[in-house]
């Protein structure tokens, strides 16, 4: 727990930038706030004490820690301003001093609050940047095991809880303790006998509230998990709304969402019940203590050891001191919740990130000769091997097709080339250099991937195509769209290239989305092109348009790896490699493999390449 807390505090670096000014502001706020209540004494004595007599003080009195010092200091100030004693002048001066002290008190309160807000905002920014950076750097397999909604919940909701854990640390360390100490000092200056009772009473309040706070940690962690589940269900429901409606599963998905939401509500109410109990409990205990003080303090007034003004001021300060005590304990509750959220955040930060570059990794400027797969093995997280001893080569400018039964490992092989994963054993070489020795950024800069799962963003058509090349001109985007057979349909859109395509390109057809993906690849003009069943999900008309666009993309001596689903994609491939159960079962040209009468020939006969 403490280790998690210290790691969270690292997001507030440099802490001294905020802690030092906050320390000063909190100290001055506590001082002037406490003085406000001490002014009750001269006000009451002036207005209601028949025996009160004004004493002129010509010299500034030395500082002393008692209520008489405040009276002497006030008399000195009055003496410097007025010649004769007049109760009305006294009240005017007291009113001005009260206003001035209140102004200073609230000024330093504001400056302290602004310092905390500045720290909170910068901390939140740093945490979100770190979280997003870690998430997008994760290896691809991570997202197969995690629910997207849970990740979103951690970046938004959990980070929001953690920020208050960090900023409340300053208040726990400075403001509330200073207020408590300030009130205690002033109370002792008025009456040490009454103060003893307060010192004995305050720990009781803290213990009772603390016992309530202690029970918040588990519900806080569980509620954050439930929120993640709810966001995941919401995201999945919106993304799959057509499927849900087509299967008449609306009631099912509603019941699922309602159940999670009900559990989240139950946990939220459980925490709220305990949090809200702390305030009335401390207020009840405070009023009970005031009742005892009225009896004990009243006897001191009747004995003459405490004046009425001091007694009223003491009660006023005592009624206030329970507030910072309560706030102090409440902030500890927030810190506890923040630590629970921090553990969920660090579950992402501590997760193994994407495959790393070696120090001084080489730069891939271009493919000069060939790509070689040498006895490549691969498994996900040590489970069953998906690829087992695969070896083949791709010469520069060749088109190599990977075919075979579904689940044979074709897509996995294609994901090894951009270094989404590194082989478990064996090696992939580009021009005789291991792929591991190249910087990932330089490898991916020479490649483009076009798959059946088109990824488009809620942006304009031009914005989606332009992702293929930073700083691309409008003319370059249009030319790429022409090559991809996309220019014609784009010009028929309401705003042409500036048309927004909605989430995931929902406003476009499957064929249109695929052609935008191809246009993006055309604009990038890669040395190495990977086509992963790019036409398998299209109707016949769309397939023809997309296939024509792919043929243009493949032209010009570009090195290509094609994962094939339909015959039209692979007839003219320079080499066809049949992958079955993670191994190379056959390889050769279309004619050679047909002549063998093996797996490839059977797939041709079935007209099904998956």
Residue 186 CB: number of other CB atoms within 10 A?
24
Q: How much is the pLDDT for 609?
A: 44
For residue 599, give both structure tokens: 């797996």
Instruction: State residue 64 phi and psi, 5-degree precision.
Output: -140, 155
pLDDT at 156 over 80: no
Judge whether 227 lies within some domain. yes
Domain count for the chain, please give it: 2
Q: By mean pLDDT, which of 51-55, 105-109, 130-134, 265-269 is the weakest?
A: 51-55
pLDDT tens column, 320-331: 777 777 677 667
Q: By mean pLDDT, which of 155-169, 372-386, 429-443, 514-528 is the weakest?
A: 155-169
Judge whether 478 lies within some domain. no
pLDDT band (50, 70, 90) for residue 433: very high
The residue count for the chain: 610
CA 391 – CA 72 distance, rounded (Å): 96
Q: How much is the pLDDT for 333?
A: 66
Judge whether 470 lies within some domain. no
The C-alpha angle with vertex 558 and arms to 556 and 562, in degrees rounded to 5, equals 125
Q: How much is the pLDDT for 571?
A: 77
Judge whether 553 lies within some domain. no
Q: How much is the pLDDT for 373?
A: 94
- The contacts of residue 322 (CB under 8 Å, 6+ apart) are 202, 205, 282, 283, 285, 286
pLDDT at 213 over 60: no
40 and 164 belong to one structural domain: yes
266 and 318 belong to one structural domain: yes
Q: How much is the pLDDT for 130?
A: 81
The DSSP symbol for 387 reads: E
158 and 283 belong to one structural domain: yes
pLDDT at 396 over 50: yes
Q: How much is the pLDDT for 434?
A: 92
Judge whether 499 lies within some domain. no
Q: How much is the pLDDT for 81?
A: 81
pLDDT tens column, 110-141: 999 898 888 888 888 888 888 888 887 777 76
367 and 343 belong to one structural domain: no
Q: How much is the pLDDT for 375?
A: 94
Judge whether 471 lies within some domain. no
What element of type H or E holds 89? helix 87-136
What element of type H or E holds 266? helix 250-303
Judge whether 534 lies within some domain. no
Instruction: Please state, for a pLDDT cut of 70, what percent of the chain lies above it.
Output: 84
233 and 381 belong to one structural domain: no
61 and 164 belong to one structural domain: yes
Tell which of 321, 349, 377 closes a domain.
349
Tell me how far the alpha carbon of residue 364 is from its chain's centroid: 34
Q: Report yes or no: 318 and 289 within 8 Å, Cβ to Cβ.
A: yes
The C-alpha angle with vertex 347 and arms to 341 and 350, in degrees rounded to 5, equals 130
399 and 293 belong to one structural domain: no
CA 236 – CA 257 distance, rounded (Å): 11
- Tokens 């998690």 belong to which residue? 4
276 and 382 belong to one structural domain: no
Q: How much is the pLDDT for 189?
A: 80
240 and 387 belong to one structural domain: no
For 477, counting Cβ atoms within 10 Å of its Cβ (0-12 exposed, 13-18 middle, 19+ buried), the class is buried
Tell which of 326, 349, 372 closes a domain.
349
Tell which of 295, 325, 349 closes a domain.
349
- The contacts of residue 158 (CB under 8 Å, 6+ apart) are 224, 341, 342, 344, 345
The C-alpha angle with vertex 34 and arms to 62 and 71, in degrees rounded to 5, equals 40
User: 3-class SS at 199?
Assistant: helix
pLDDT, mean of residues 22-49:
78
323 and 431 belong to one structural domain: no
Judge whether 394 lies within some domain. yes
pLDDT at 395 over 90: yes
Task: Give the chain's count of helices (H) and strands (E).
Answer: 23, 10
User: 3-class SS at 535?
Assistant: coil
Average pLDDT, the chain: 80
CA 610 – CA 606 distance, rounded (Å): 11
Bin 430: left if φ > 0, else alpha if -120 < ψ < 50, else beta.
Answer: beta
Q: How much is the pLDDT for 210?
A: 61
Instruction: Please state, for a pLDDT cut of 90, what percent of the chain lies above it.
Output: 12
| CA-closest candidate to residue 235, choices 150, 345, 159, 156 | 150
Q: Which residues of 137-157 are buried (b: 16+ CB within 10 A; e: fewer)?
A: ebbeebeeebbebbbbbbbeb
For residue 250, give both structure tokens: 């609306």
User: 3-class SS at 492?
Assistant: coil
387 and 336 belong to one structural domain: no
Tell me how far the alpha carbon of residue 450 is from its chain's centroid: 31
Top-ranked range on mean pLDDT: pick from 83-92, 160-169, 484-493? 484-493
CA dihedral 482, 484, 488, 491 (to 10 degrees): -80
pLDDT greater at residue 289 or residue 186: 186
Domain span at residue 603 reads: 359-446+573-610
Q: Is the peptide bond before 15 cis (omega within 30 degrees of 0)?
A: no
CATH code where residue 364 lies = 3.40.50.300
345 and 364 belong to one structural domain: no
């Amino acid at each position: 727990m403490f280790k998690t807390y210290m790691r969270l505090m690292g997001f507030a670096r440099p802490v001294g930038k905020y802690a030092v000014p906050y320390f000063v502001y909190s100290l001055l706020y506590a001082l002037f706030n406490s003085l406000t209540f001490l002014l009750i004494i001269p006000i009451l004595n002036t207005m209601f004490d028949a025996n009160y007599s004004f004493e002129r003080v010509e010299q500034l009195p030395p500082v002393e820690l008692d209520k008489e010092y405040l009276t002497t200091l006030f008399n000195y100030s009055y003496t410097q301003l007025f010649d004769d004693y007049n109760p009305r002048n006294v009240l005017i001066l007291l009113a001005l001093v009260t206003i001035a002290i209140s102004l200073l008190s609230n000024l330093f309160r504001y400056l302290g609050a602004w310092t905390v807000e500045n720290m909170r905002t910068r901390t939140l920014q740093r945490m979100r940047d770190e979280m997003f950076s870690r998430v997008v750097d994760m290896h691809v397999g991570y997202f197969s095991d995690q629910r997207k909604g849970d990740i979103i919940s951690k970046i938004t909701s959990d980070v929001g809880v953690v920020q208050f854990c960090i900023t409340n640390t300053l208040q726990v360390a400075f403001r509330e303790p200073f207020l408590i100490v300030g009130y205690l000092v002033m109370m002792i200056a008025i009456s040490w006998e009454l103060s003893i009772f307060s010192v004995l009473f305050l720990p009781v309040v803290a213990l009772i509230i603390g016992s309530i706070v202690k029970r918040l940690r588990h519900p806080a962690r569980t509620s954050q998990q439930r929120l993640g589940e709810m966001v995941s269900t919401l995201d999945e429901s919106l993304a799959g709304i057509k499927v849900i409606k087509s299967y008449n599963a609306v009631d099912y998905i509603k019941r699922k969402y309602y159940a999670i939401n009900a559990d989240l509500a139950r946990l939220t109410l459980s925490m709220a019940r305990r949090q809200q109990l702390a305030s009335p409990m401390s207020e009840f205990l405070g009023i009970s203590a005031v009742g005892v003080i009225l009896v004990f303090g009243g006897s001191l007034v009747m004995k003459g050891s405490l004046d009425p003004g001091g007694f009223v001021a003491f009660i006023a300060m005592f009624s206030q001191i329970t507030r910072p005590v309560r706030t102090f304990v409440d902030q500890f509750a927030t810190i506890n919740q923040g630590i629970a959220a921090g553990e969920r955040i660090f579950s992402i930060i501590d997760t193994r990130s994407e495959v790393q570059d070696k120090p001084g990794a080489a730069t891939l400027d271009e493919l000069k000769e060939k790509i070689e797969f040498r006895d490549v093995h691969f498994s996900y997280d040590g489970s069953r091997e998906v690829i087992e001893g695969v070896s083949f080569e791709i010469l520069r400018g060749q088109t190599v097709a990977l075919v075979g039964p579904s689940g044979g490992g074709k897509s996995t092989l294609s994901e090894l080339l951009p270094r989404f994963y590194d082989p478990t054993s064996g090696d992939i070489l580009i021009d005789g250099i291991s792929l591991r020795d190249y910087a990932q950024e330089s490898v991916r800069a020479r490649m483009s991937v076009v798959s059946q799962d088109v990824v488009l963003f809620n942006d304009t058509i031009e914005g989606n195509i332009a992702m293929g090349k930073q700083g691309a001109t409008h003319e370059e985007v249009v030319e790429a769209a022409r090559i991809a057979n996309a220019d014609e349909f784009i010009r028929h859109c309401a705003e042409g290239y500036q048309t927004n395509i909605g989430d995931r390109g929902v406003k476009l057809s499957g064929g249109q989305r695929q052609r935008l993906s191809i246009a993006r690849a055309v604009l990038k003009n890669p040395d190495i092109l990977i086509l992963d069943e790019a036409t398998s999900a299209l109707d016949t008309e769309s397939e023809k348009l997309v296939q024509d666009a792919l043929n243009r993309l493949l032209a010009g001596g570009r090195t290509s790896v094609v994962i094939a689903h339909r015959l039209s994609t692979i007839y003219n491939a320079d080499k066809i490699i049949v992958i079955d159960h993670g191994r190379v079962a056959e390889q050769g040209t279309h004619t050679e493999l047909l002549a063998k009468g093996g797996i490839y020939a059977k797939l041709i006969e079935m007209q099904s390449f998956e």
